[in-house]
Chains A and B, each alone.
Chain A
Amino acid sequence: MEKYKSVLLIEDDPITIMVCERILKMTNFSSQIVSKKNGHEGIEYLKGLIESQTSLPDIIFLDINMPIMNGWDFLNEFTILQQVCKNIPKIYILSSTVDPEDKRKATLYSIVTDIISKPLTKEHIQKI
């Protein structure tokens, strides 16, 4: 039985995407995994879900360093967007950042549940 129905992965690195999808499936975390290459794509996808009145993913894994729209920009946009959402996803920042400023900044967003250092492991998933 899957832990969560659907997961959104916003990540520009294809290897990371592949690895994450594989792990999430292997651990039965979720079988319905959508990945987007940057924040902008992620927002556009979520907007589409809202417009089609489809429920949003339960979990969002969000990278920070992405082209076009990075993780922070996504969070800014989504903060506005979630006000019209039926269900609000839990957002986990998934990053290989070592900058403490990023961790501090993450706490400023109430919609961010936690910050996870890459690589994503089975242990991380089990805690969620």
Chain B
Amino acid sequence: MNSTIFTNTFSAQNVLEAFLAGTHDSFLIVDNNFSVIAFNEGYKKFHLNFFNDVVAKHINYFALTKANTNLKVLHQSLVAIQKNMDVLKFTHPLTSTQESKNYWFDFELHPLFNDENEAVGFGIGIFDTTQKNTSLEAIKKSEELFKALVINSTDTFQLTNEELKVSYVSDSVKNILGYETEELIDNHFFNFIHPDDKVIISTWLYWLLHHPGIVKSVEVRIKNKKDSWIYIEINGNNLLHVDKIQSIVMNYRDIQAKKVVDNALAIAEQRMSLLLNNTKESFIIVNSRLRVVTYNRAAQEHSPFFFSQELQSGISLLDLVKEFDVEDIINMFEKVFDGEEPERETSFVDPTNKLHVYNHRFRPLYSDDDIVGVFITSTDITEKKKAEQKLIASEERNRAIIQESFDVMLISDLQGVVQETSPSLFKLLGYTAEEVVSKNFIDFIDVNYREGATTTFNALIAKPDSEESIDTLMLHKEGHKVWVVLKGKNLFHNKHINSMIIMLRDITARKEAEEVVSLSEQRFKGLVQSGADMISIIDENGVVKYSSPTVFNVLGNDPMTDIGKNVTSFIHPQDRDWIISEFEKMLSSGVKQSYLGPYRFPNSKGEYRWLETVVTNLNDDPAIKGIVINSRDVTETNRLNEEQKALTEELIKNNQDLQQFSFITSHNLRAPVANLISLLSLFDKENLEEPFNKVLLEKFEEATGQMNSTLNDLLEVLVLKTNTNITLEELSLHSISQKVLNNLDNILQQNEVTVTTNFSAIDHVYINKLHLESIFQNLISNAIKYSSTERKPVINIDSMLENEWIIVKFSDNGIGIDLERYKDRIFGMYQRFNASKEGKGLGLYMIKAQIMAMGGKIEVESEVNSGTTFKVYLKNNGKI
């Protein structure tokens, strides 16, 4: 096809024509005017095919083809080479007018010269290159596609030569292997392959080289940037023969994860096969004549039918079982050969007297549709049996416990919906099982505790086999609330249970106790300031709501027995009314705290004790809601206080008496002194003979006598008052009275006094003799002194016993004393009530002092102009 061919065209015309006739290529020769000189058969077909016309010699080529756009390019090319007279080659597509199909053609245009080197015309060669150009175009298209794929794919695309030297690798290699593209380019891909896989990749490459254009994949380990080996799957295509590629095209992906799974699967398979031999389950295959065909290791080691017998191929299964089992076994096999898969348990005792229980499953072995043998799977269930026995026992026990105990068991699903419940639920919450099943147990919890219960439940769900418990308040059917401890156990993983087990236990009592403790703590805090011994809480009516244990210490009562009782009803009748009245006054006034007492309250022995109470109204305090009474036993303190009080009173009185005594004595001493001073001032010293002086002297004498008498009286009183150590002796009232009456005999006779004495009730007294004589002397004298002029004086003296007292009574029928007027002064010092009678006003004062010195007292009853009675109380000090 080069120009030399044509050089000899004209000289070897026949040879050339023969060649041209044989070729599919098209040749055409035109002269300088483009008139057709010659063409071959190929061109004739080409011309007809693409120009839809018949080519003919001597006709202007372009005149023939002028209307055909297909020839424009050829025309322009000829015009062009006519100017430069150089060879022109170009490729151009043409559309077949007959096939509507695109063809690719290479055109070669040669200027033709004669021997004289004159341009004589042009030779045109047209070569069909459609096939070649179509594939190039396809590659161009696929390159675009390839680029798109490369860019968008996670797979790595790579081009290598036939030695796997990398010429191109896509950026995604970094994602898979961690390398930059530069690290791979110009390197041999071999170097990255795991040494063990180099044989694989070589084999693959060899295959590719011998199968160009066919994709083949391979899995190999490749070193990544981190120097670890990862599995990749490579799809390879040998496109070395493709002009524009001339490479082995590879795309690969990371299959590490898949490979791991695959490996695991492989290992699992191996294990499975190992398992068959290592399992404790026995496999025996018997033929239709019940002879052993094959068996696994477990069956070999421990024949599930007869422990000691060694299993052998060919042995009859019937020889292995006990004689009385033979019939059963045969029946069993008949079923198996009917297509059933029966199960059966056998048991036997080994030589060590150990029981073995086996469960056998008999399955038919099919060959086509015929049963040719039996596959026997035997499992040692000895331990399981034991466990079952235990389980049954424990289940029965548990059931008994559940039914008998206060505990309630609920079984719920994942959502808390109750599946089952023990009957004891009724006891706890008043609901029957039917009312609860298929409802959510959360709904039976007090709304305030639902969140906590839900949290606990969810925590349980999250953790198999976990246990959680929580105190919660549940709703009883009758409306009240019940404290329970809710204990859940997640047994969803347990195939036999596959539920949540919820135990409920009534802890109301415990909660109440806790509340009481916490309340009492608050109470204690609230009350500690009062520091009382007994603490009780009562309502407005006095009914006890709470009593502290100290009640026992103080009163001996069990504090619990007080509860519900009205505390005021126990108060001593004499104190009750005023205590209640004070209590009510306090409540109505809104006063928070008030003091009550002392009042008498009986202890457990019925003895009245004096109590003092601080009442604190804490009705508003939510922790207490009551009236707190802090009480203490003040009996002892009270007694001491009373004694103290009496003593103090006595001291005050003594002091007053002494003061009075001092006032009276000073007055009584001053009076005569004052008289003496006055008398002296009137005395006429200048004129001693003055007759009035004599009168004054007489008065002087009188006043000094008066003073002396007063001093003697005072001495007597002082002796009495200071002499506390008086001697007591046993005396007879009768004999003393007789002695005094004898002394007063003259006066009695002068005044015609009748004295009667009666000491029959009590005569002997233990007393100071002088004092007793003084008492008789003074009272009899007074009776005579203040006797009535209208009647003869009568004096009655008698004695009587009254409790601890010996009373000596002196009654007269005298003038009497106006007690309304003189009661305060009758026993006073120097008190006189009758101007007509002589008296110093000391008698009654003296005897009162004497009586009191002996621990007694004196009382007076009198009616003016009727008579007076003095009652002398003497201590009956048990000596009589």
Name A's B-contacting residues (CB within 8 A).
Answer: 12-13, 15-16, 18-20, 22-23, 26, 37-38, 40-41, 65, 67-68, 73, 95-99, 118-121
Contact = CB atoms under 8 A, between A and B. Distances in A.
Given A96-B667, A98-B667, A118-B674, A19 B835 contact: no
Contacts of B681: 23, 119, 121
B679 A19 contact: yes
A41 B836 CA distance: 12
Contacts of A118: 670-671, 674, 678
A67 B678 CA distance: 23
A96 B841 contact: no
Nearest to B669: A96
Contacts of A38: 835
13 contacts: A13-B675, A15-B679, A15-B703, A15-B706, A16-B674, A16-B675, A19-B682, A23-B681, A67-B841, A68-B834, A98-B662, A119-B674, A119-B681
Interface of B: 660, 662-663, 666-667, 670-672, 674-675, 677-679, 681-682, 695, 699, 702-703, 706, 821, 830-835, 841
Given A65-B667, A97-B663, A119 B835 contact: no
A67 B682 contact: no
A38 B833 CA distance: 10
B786 to A, nearest CB: 12
A67 B671 contact: no
Contacts of B672: 15
Contacts of B703: 15
Given A65-B830, A119-B678, 4 more contacts: A67-B832, A96-B667, A97-B667, A120-B678
A20 B835 CA distance: 20
Contact of A67 (B674, B675, B699, B833): B833
Contacts of A68: 832-835
B699 A15 contact: yes
Contact of B675 (A12, A97, A119, A121): A119
Given A118-B674, A119-B678, A18 B667 contact: no
Contact of B835 (A37, A96, A121): A37
A76 to B, nearest CB: 11
Label chain A's interface by main secondary structure. loop
A18 B692 CA distance: 12
B671 A98 contact: no
A67 B834 contact: yes
B677 to A, nearest CB: 5
A13 B671 contact: yes
A98 B666 contact: yes
B699 A99 contact: no
Nearest to A15: B675
A96 B674 contact: yes
Nearest to A37: B835
A115 to B, nearest CB: 13
What are the 9 closest A-B residue pairs judged by CB atoms, nearest first?
A: A67-B832, A19-B678, A118-B674, A119-B674, A96-B670, A99-B663, A119-B678, A15-B675, A98-B666
Given A15-B675, A15-B702, A68-B835, A23 B670 contact: no
B663 A98 contact: yes
A41 B670 CA distance: 24
Contacts of B670: 96, 98, 118
B678 A12 contact: no
Nearest to B679: A19
A105 B663 CA distance: 15
Contacts of B663: 97-99
Given A96-B667, A97-B663, A12 B674 contact: no
Contacts of B675: 13, 15-16, 19, 119
A99 B661 CA distance: 10
A58 to B, nearest CB: 22
Contacts of A73: 821
Contacts of B671: 13, 16, 96, 118
A92 to B, nearest CB: 15
Most buried by B among A15, A65, A96: A15
B70 to A, nearest CB: 164
Contacts of B677: 119
Contacts of A37: 835
Contacts of A99: 660, 663, 667
A18 B699 contact: yes
B835 A67 contact: yes
Nearest to A41: B835
A12 B681 CA distance: 21
A21 B633 CA distance: 69
A86 to B, nearest CB: 29
A99 B664 CA distance: 8
Nearest to A101: B663
Nearest to A67: B832
B838 to A, nearest CB: 11
A22 B667 contact: no
A22 B682 CA distance: 8
Most buried by B among A18, A73, A119: A119
Contacts of B835: 12, 37-38, 40-41, 67-68
Contacts of A15: 672, 675, 678-679, 699, 702-703, 706
A23 B695 CA distance: 15
A24 B674 CA distance: 16
Nearest to B841: A67
Nearest to A97: B667
A67 B821 CA distance: 12
Given A13-B671, A67-B832, A23 B678 contact: yes
Contacts of B695: 18
Contacts of A96: 667, 670-671, 674
Nearest to B831: A67
Nearest to A94: B674
B819 to A, nearest CB: 15
A20 B671 CA distance: 13
A41 B835 CA distance: 10
A12 B706 CA distance: 14
B702 to A, nearest CB: 6
A41 B422 CA distance: 110
Nearest to A20: B678
A73 B824 CA distance: 13
Nearest to B818: A68
Contacts of A12: 835
